[in-house]
Amino acid sequence: MARREESPASGGGTFARPRSAGMVRPIRPRRNRRADWARRLVRETVVTPDDLIWPIFLVAGKGVREPVATMPGVVRHSVDEAVRAAAEAAGLGIPAIALFPYTDPALRDAKGSQALNSDNLVCRACKAIKDSVPEIGIITDVALDPYTSHGHDGLLEDGRILNDATVEVLVQQSLVQARAGADVIAPSDMMDGRVGAIRAALEAEGMIDTQIMAYSAKYASSFYGPFRDAIGSSATLVGDKRTYQMDFANSDEALREAELDIAEGADMIMVKPGLPYLDILRRLKDRFAMPTFAYQVSGEYAMICAAGERGWMDRDRCMMETLAAFKRAGADGVLTYFAIDAARMLNDA
């Protein structure tokens, strides 16, 4: 109903003024968004270079920076180039890198024997980086897929992955990497009991300070394709990995997996992939309050880059938005191929 007020023009008469014109709005959330300084002042989630882990692919040779066709801007580094990359990351404030090898097909076999070679690519890179860039953390992947001729994370017999026999090999792989200087052992294989076995072996060797970052909720996902190209397992993979990686329809199962890994001695837990599984990330963080990480995997990276190249999206803005989404959902840090670009942007801001 309109409110009646005196009209100065009519000498005391009245006129109708719509209530909306004089409505008082004491609460206006937009006030805190009106300027850049105001948005920064009240921002709830902040991403810094400290939140980033940079995955680096390794390849044999010297002076090699070999592009990965399905991951624009990503290259495989020879060990000497990986040292330079690690120095660049450290200079930008990135606290850790994660190493993944491309193994010469001639060195792959059914048992993944090259994983136990103390002079393999990962071990050589660990030693070289520790010598030259001791301030950066090194995370090493524990799984057999970069080394097996069949492309699986474990030992294969009659089409079946052997859990316990695989764990025995993973333990030895972990020890080889830790002796080479790895700070964090990151089992990504999803074999039952591997975290406890690795922890016991590290303790027995006196390596009590070596951390374990467990891929606790690693899903059998379609988003891994470019990564498999980068490590060379896409062409060799026999079948799929659904008997040991998690069903993407499940959520409660992730809680059980994480609870087991924590009980077995994991220092940190991880969700992989990232963006399609933010609900899992939030549940794990809320339930366990553990250092919790997300892996923004190769498929996520490739999609953003491809859309950016075609002008369909702003690559850099999407990059920063997704990183903030991980932090907002509960991640303490993110493994991302955007790490270098994001750190540069954050340092320049």
CA separation for the pair 99, 138 (Å, rounded): 7
Residue type, 78: S
- What secondary structure letter does DSSP report for 313? S
* Opening angle at CA 226, ends 220 and 227, nearest 5: 65
Q: Is 332's pLDDT higher than 60?
A: yes
CATH of domain 47-348: 3.20.20.70
pLDDT in tens, 55-104: 999 999 999 999 999 999 999 999 999 999 999 999 999 999 999 999 99
User: Is 218 considered catalytic here?
Assistant: yes
At residue 21, the pLDDT reads 58
Evaluate if residue 300 carries a pLDDT over 60.
yes
Q: Tell me whether residue 259 is annotated as binding.
A: no
Say if residue 4's pLDDT is above 50: no
Round the CA-based radius of gyration of the chain to a whole number and report it.
Answer: 25
Catalytic residue among 130, 241, 272, 285: 272
User: What three-state secondary structure class fits 226?
Assistant: helix
Structure tokens at 29: 């959330």
Closest CA to 334 of 313, 345, 349, 319: 319
pLDDT digits (tens, 9 = 90+) for 166-224: 999 999 999 999 999 999 999 999 999 999 999 999 999 999 999 999 999 999 999 99
> Could you tell me the pLDDT band of residue 106, with boundaries at 50, 70 and 90?
very high
**Mean pLDDT of all residues belonging to the chain:** 94
- From 17-21, 105-109, 207-211, 251-255, the region with the lowest mean pLDDT: 17-21
Q: Is 111 a catalytic residue?
A: no
Measured between alpha carbons, how far is residue 179 from residues 176, 248, 291, 333, 345 in Å?
A: 5, 35, 24, 25, 35
Q: Where are the domains of the chain?
A: 47-348
Relative to beta strand 52-58, strand 333-336 is parallel
3-state secondary structure (DSSP) of residue 121: helix
End-to-end CA distance of the chain: 51
> What is the residue type of 241?
K
Cα dihedral across residues 110, 105, 167, 116: positive or negative: positive
pLDDT number for residue 313: 97
Q: Which amino acid is at 227?
A: F
